[in-house]
Structure 1
């Protein structure tokens, strides 16, 4: 799933562009059992003194205990503490009581009738100031528009991701408002029946959004945009459709009934930031008004769209997903830049830059040799998703793709493995099993030797570091060991991002050498966080003068890391690396 990333770093983004893509309904492939719980959300927007309040009533049926646990909104992706806008929680059904637990984000729900109960509460905007990056994860409730998701706005019973649910949403919003969600467009009454994971990762926007539809065969692509953005609605729709075509061609699959992309620009005072996140059959973008489709944004969108197949057309995510993140997130990370390169949206040099960044992240990570068991334990103790699953998995994918091509003389590729896994998922019918590492190993065993299978399992578990030969990307690129310096901005990042002021300037840092001074007021900032290969562009106001500075954010050496560079005789616009050969 989704990862929110700071777009100025490779794959770290921040955009407020509500661009909801409705694609494939994985939940409906699940055989819903008679024990499913029924959830009915009634969402009523109410404008009180220019403040929009969302009143929510939840009716629950099919509960199996007289004492259940309610989960309050708190988390979206890796961001916590999102439930401060929840107020006036109360029981609505007779003989129902809500009491505290030791966890403020969970409540006990006690009922005399053990099969049904109703509650209600209000959702309020709990932040001030302009729409900006550091509030984009919070609920957006404005007089003319709404943007929420399950993680920051919906109370629900404690459920496992694979639990079956029958869920409906009934919206009471002003006449003339648009509505677009993970479950449909325009219809004020929406219904979903499938696994809870699909509801848990849903997004909802309403209000002054411009809705555009693109239809191709069975595919319905919707774009919901509000505000002013430097990219026209037609251009945005064209770019999104282009990426869809690239991914469909890779998977050889046109079965995408619905997908939504939402776009919400930040306030005009926000510059140099863009980002987004993946949801159920949807992708949301938040961006500075002057930021277009950056490489980071294109990569993130490609990554999240790839999840429509991996894992959602292969198998259900397990309740301890850290066991399979190396595949679902890591292999997806590998393909995000590869597919953009194949589609002509990245040059070969840009493709290599993205791969090199992932390799740097992997080889320099303090978590490089953490085991799968340890990742699961960290998650159970409240630790967020570790970046190592992305970068180690991407390195494994590069090694595996090369190994398959070498053994089969380029007659087969990792793409064949991915498509075979999807085909297996389709043949399971309604059983649609849980996705496991053993399932992936079983398919890859058809393409690599027994020794390579054992080596791959050691890579996955962090026992051995991933290694591949220097000719893995020849004839276009060669591998060499490069001394990588530590990323060092040379000042307080928190004050730079949130206060736009230079504080704690480090003596001898590249920032100081460039001429930046303590106390400078920053009026423009462009930085690719954690990427030492990209310069920092910083404009400050000092004594009435406007001064631009550029410097490399480098510090002490971190060590030698394998990196790929173009052969001196190679044309970066036309070179087709063997790993990129479409199949």
Structure 2
């Protein structure tokens, strides 16, 4: 027996030893420095050397819509040994030549912000390093040995030692205010899909079912206070996790940075590992309601599109984006986020109807929502959002009606999550129809093929009638009525029946200022130059269209509870 125990212990030690040897460890030391009086970050990386004497590091020159990220790099040098370093931008590689007997490379480089002036929606995706703070995405911060970047299945350990001024926050996708961070068993995709911030960020902890959630914010916000965002974030995450019966995520953070913008408002966000990073224009035109929509849509992607996978991206955006849009407005209204109720839900459904039914590609088949069209055309980009959201609304009503209120689309969505987690099921057309049919009295396939595949518009009047919903025909839809050349800024075409023409706009006018929201109820403002004279124009970018719209009545609100 003793001999058997010793053998088992030996096997266990060997297994542990082999396991530890297989997991590569990377160490980074990050410190604040000044380079030519410009605030920068110096990063010292330690990792295993390639025994061939030739080690390649992966660092993208072009990523996430940004080009020439190598312009942010300087002072590349080997600390451990003599050798040569070559930057190969086209290959996204840093090549290091070193002695073959070198066991570990200690490599140092400096990151500096390469853009001047205030940040904006474009530059926030580049390294932002200011005297007061820094905000970077890990793919343009931390270099990785090439084999770890190429083998997506290989896991490694990371330790990050932060050497920052006392009082500066350290906050990122993996932890909050940890000066020594240890990240275990991570792959390249998760490690390079993260946000790292530091400096004057205000860190607000939120606890939801014993799990840690944080809001990291900085700057002096004009339209709201941090408390408003903490409350919004807390209600949103709690409501979504309750909906999915999923409180498994132990750590999650949202980061917010402001940027100046005089006219209009804009905000953008990126879903990342354990996190969501957003940048927002800081003026009094930003609306908290818009941020609620942003948070609810993007955080819902933790399940729809992430846990519940789709098999082909563009061909199934009607699900990953359209159903996410539908559950964005449903989640807000059902949980009374920002005190919104069924009236808000009806308004948003009406808005989706207007936008879809006035789109120039409203009846394009699903096959035309391909990579080229989606990423080059705003109309094609938004088509699956709107068509998918209306399909989700239709299916939700149908399941509820045919089950006498016993079931809803919610049950089908939870089935998708369960099957994705337990059986690795992915959404495609046949699987979706098969699962939906379990809650329906008749086959969904003919309807799905006609409307979701071929692109025929829904008969909204018939759908509203069969569900006992009150509606009217006629709506005010967003309509510009003009086209402006992006290079000359001149009006090149103009609908003479449009409000723009009626307000005085003419072909040939050179636009020197404009403020236009994609909302028919918000007045557009223009300044144009004609015959060397500046003319101010104001009008509502709208036109009447014959489209069914739900009424905000007690009957409808009760039906849509």
Regarding TM over 0.5, the answer is yes
Partner of 2:74: 88
1:328-376 CA-partner distances (Å, limit 9, x unpaired) = 2221111111211222343545433433443455452548645569736
Matched residue of 2:125: which SS? Answer: coil
Is the 1:484–1:561 Cα contact (8 Å) retained in structure 2? no
Matched, 1:565 2:550: yes
**Counterpart among 193, 197, 200 of residue 201 in structure 1:** 193
Is the 1:41–1:59 Cα contact (8 Å) retained in structure 2? yes
Partner of 2:522: 535
Partner of 1:551: 539
Partner of 2:301: 307
Choose 1 or 2 for highest CA Rg: 2
Give the 5 Å matches for 1:216-235: 216-230=208-222, 231-235=224-228
Matched residue of 1:329: which SS? Answer: helix
> For structure 2, which runs of at least 5 residues remain unmatched after alignment?
1-18
Partner of 1:288: 282
Matched residue of 1:136: which SS? Answer: helix
| Higher normalized contact order (CA 8 Å, seq sep 6+, divided by chain length) | 1
Report the Cα distance in structure 1 between the residues aligned to 2:248 and 2:24, rounded to whole angstroms.
Answer: 28
Aligned length: 519
Matched, 1:400 2:399: no
CA RMSD, Structure 1 to Structure 2 (Å): 4.5
Give the 5 Å matches for 1:420-435: 420-427=415-422, 433=424, 435=426
Is the 2:363–2:455 Cα contact (8 Å) retained in structure 1? no
> For structure 1, which runs of at least 5 residues remain unmatched after alignment?
1-31, 496-501
Is the 1:87–1:122 Cα contact (8 Å) retained in structure 2? yes
Report the Cα distance in structure 1 between the residues aligned to 2:129 and 2:82, rounded to whole angstroms.
Answer: 33
Report the Cα distance in structure 1 between the residues aligned to 2:400 and 2:51, rounded to whole angstroms.
Answer: 53
Partner of 2:405: 410
Partner of 1:7: none
Q: 1:114 to 1:342 in 2, by over 3 A?
A: farther
1:290-325 CA-partner distances (Å, limit 9, x unpaired) = 34543322111101111222244445x77x644544
Partner of 1:48: 35
Once the two structures are TM-superposed, the CA of residue 257 in structure 1 deviates from its matched residue by 2.1
Is the 1:149–1:203 Cα contact (8 Å) retained in structure 2? yes
**Counterpart among 238, 259, 263 of residue 266 in structure 1:** 259
Give the 5 Å matches for 1:111-126: 120-126=108-114
Q: 1:380 to 1:293 in 2, by over 3 A?
A: closer
Q: 1:96 to 1:376 in 2, by over 3 A?
A: farther
Is the 2:420–2:426 Cα contact (8 Å) retained in structure 1? no
Is the 2:56–2:94 Cα contact (8 Å) retained in structure 1? yes
Report the Cα distance in structure 1 between the residues aligned to 2:516 and 2:459, rounded to whole angstroms.
Answer: 31
Once the two structures are TM-superposed, the CA of residue 174 in structure 1 deviates from its matched residue by 1.7
**Counterpart among 242, 245, 250 of residue 243 in structure 2:** 250
Once the two structures are TM-superposed, the CA of residue 407 in structure 1 deviates from its matched residue by 2.8
**Counterpart among 385, 388, 394 of residue 390 in structure 1:** 385
Partner of 2:461: 470
Report the Cα distance in structure 2 between the residues aligned to 1:44 and 1:277, rounded to whole angstroms.
Answer: 27
Report the Cα distance in structure 1 between the residues aligned to 2:463 and 2:221, rounded to whole angstroms.
Answer: 41
Partner of 2:136: 148
Partner of 2:160: 169
Is the 1:132–1:270 Cα contact (8 Å) retained in structure 2? no
Matched, 1:135 2:135: no
Report the Cα distance in structure 2 between the residues aligned to 1:427 and 1:577, rounded to whole angstroms.
Answer: 36
Q: What is the TM-score of this pair, normalised by structure 1?
A: 0.73
1:454-497 CA-partner distances (Å, limit 9, x unpaired) = 6436755x3343635435455444374769675346646789xx
1:110-148 CA-partner distances (Å, limit 9, x unpaired) = 776899866554322122223334433332210110111
Once the two structures are TM-superposed, the CA of residue 286 in structure 1 deviates from its matched residue by 1.6
1:204-227 CA-partner distances (Å, limit 9, x unpaired) = 211011111122331222121211
Is the 1:60–1:118 Cα contact (8 Å) retained in structure 2? yes
**Counterpart among 179, 183, 190 of residue 174 in structure 2:** 183
Once the two structures are TM-superposed, the CA of residue 187 in structure 1 deviates from its matched residue by 0.5
Report the Cα distance in structure 2 between the residues aligned to 1:108 and 1:165, rounded to whole angstroms.
Answer: 20
Report the Cα distance in structure 1 between the residues aligned to 2:86 and 2:470, rounded to whole angstroms.
Answer: 62
Report the Cα distance in structure 1 between the residues aligned to 2:20 and 2:388, rounded to whole angstroms.
Answer: 34
Partner of 2:13: none
Report the Cα distance in structure 1 between the residues aligned to 2:63 and 2:477, rounded to whole angstroms.
Answer: 34
1:433-467 CA-partner distances (Å, limit 9, x unpaired) = 3744265455334223673146436755x334363
Matched residue of 1:127: which SS? Answer: coil
Is the 1:299–1:337 Cα contact (8 Å) retained in structure 2? yes
Q: 1:264 to 1:44 in 2, by over 3 A?
A: same
Is the 1:96–1:109 Cα contact (8 Å) retained in structure 2? no
Once the two structures are TM-superposed, the CA of residue 408 in structure 1 deviates from its matched residue by 1.9
Partner of 2:349: 355
Matched, 1:576 2:561: no
Matched residue of 2:443: which SS? Answer: helix
**Counterpart among 265, 278, 287 of residue 270 in structure 2:** 278
